[in-house]
Amino acid sequence: MDTRGRLLGNRYELLVPLASGGMGRVWRARDTLLERPVAVKVLRSEFTGDATFRARFRAEAQHTAALLHPNIASVFDYGELEEDGERLAYLVMELVEGESLSDLLERVGRLDPARTLDIVRQTAAALAAAHAAGVVHRDVKPGNVLVGTDGVVKITDFGIAWSASSVALTGTGQVVGTAQYLSPEQAAGGKATPASDVYALGAVAYECLTGRRAFDGENSVQVALKQIREQPAPLPADIPTGLRGVVERAMAKDPAARYPDGASLCEAVEEVTRSGGTAPIRGTGRTGTAVLPLPPVAGGAAPVPPPAPAGTAGNRARGLGPLLIGAVAALVAVGVLVSLLATVSDDPGGQASPSTTTATATEPPAVDVVADDYLSRPVEQVQAELVADGLQVQLEPGTTEEVAPGQVTAVSPEGALAPGTVVTVSYAVVPVDNGGDNGNDGGGNGNEGGGNGNEGGGNGRGNGHGNGKDDD
């Protein structure tokens, strides 16, 4: 139903549609009481009868209204009403004159390091405010980052944000977000944390600097698996060292190796900005220690996550894997060296003496693997245990409804295995939305040809983003 010219709540006159998608439509509107331009997001009538959708819509209003920050698009009002037998829900937001970052990238390709740093700094500052308030955005992406004509950057669309004080609006293990910017732990069905928002913003920075997404594919599941298993292509050679380090750390696969939250990322970006983009990476996490990811294990086996900052039993447990691997490697090296020395005579020429006794290396004991011992357990625990036993681990995610996301579904081979054997550990993940609707479907202030739209080209002036998470 076209509501152009309609007066919502006897106050907000809908003028021009800016974006439309799965959940609703965004309008440029006029607040007739205060005589100011605003952006109004109207939930589609087919969803207003669903209590869950209405609760999620109200949660967006509540989350955003509680966040007062110059880099967060403000929420002014929320309403629900019934007119002519139709039930409507709407959200009134600040109208940002400008364009979404997604439209900007589509228009110019890639951004220079200085502008990228400025956009990331302002967005990280907004996330810092959200994280300090206990809110995780969960859908940071270019479509939800608004670049004003005055240079001010604002993040918007807290439609699927998670708050420590709110009731869960998604089912257990349900994955929400946009696949191209989804953190590995979210893609595996884990809970989003402030570090998950950091990963997403790192992926946004990567796209700004390269003009392409870090991971893409034919469907959302394929992209999500890449988030879990693959590393993005290296950044261009012309990217300054300091900025390169910030992006790489923000996109670390292990959350413990990233900046822990928006404040830490913002601090790192400001340091790089002050140095002209060449500042070395320092420990800007809460412990003051930078944690670097381990390189991939040869043969395609998954790397062991680096230890998290000390302070919890769980963190200490995660640190055992790398230590045990190092110990095993050292023992093997010593054994090989002893074996070589035993076959060499005292002859200066280094020739083996006929009278020299050759030492025989002791065969390391086999590792007994019983698949049933690992099924339906968290994949991280199983991986750590197998690696600690001297085996290599190849992770194989797959979709299933039989076990919860992140839990092991199969282990092979099993039996008495020689140390160093590659063991394939299969675990469950959940299909995710690839953002087809997700970025531009009437959330917040879209960019669809003027004003606040985020879909459909034009100059896209305004609060560009979308909520379209209709499968969330």
Catalytic residues: 139
Token look-up 């995610």 returns 397
The two three-digit tokens of residue 249, written as one number? 């750390």
Amino acid code (one letter) for 264: S
The two three-digit tokens of residue 461, written as one number? 């002036």
> What is the distance of C-alpha 83 from the center of its chain?
41
Q: Which of 63, 59, 24 is nearest to 41 (CA)?
A: 24
Distance set, CA 291 to CA 13, 207, 278, 389, 452 (Å): 52, 24, 19, 24, 40
The answer to whether 74 and 124 have CB atoms below 8 angstroms apart is no
The answer to whether 45 and 90 have CB atoms below 8 angstroms apart is no
Backbone angles phi, psi at 187, to 5 degrees: -60, -30
Q: Which of 471, 456, 447, 458 is nearest to 101 (CA)?
A: 447
Q: DSSP secondary structure string, 204-224?
A: HHHHHHHSS-SS--SSHHHHH
Instruction: Report the distance separating Cα 155 and Cα 365, nearest Å.
Output: 56
Instruction: Report the distance separating Cα 329 and Cα 107, nearest Å.
Output: 51
Q: What is the dihedral of CA 246, 210, 137, 25, to 10 degrees?
A: 160
Rg over alpha carbons for the chain, rounded to the nearest Å, is 26
Q: DSSP secondary structure string, 61-91?
A: HHHHHT---TTB--EEEEEEEEETTEEEEEE
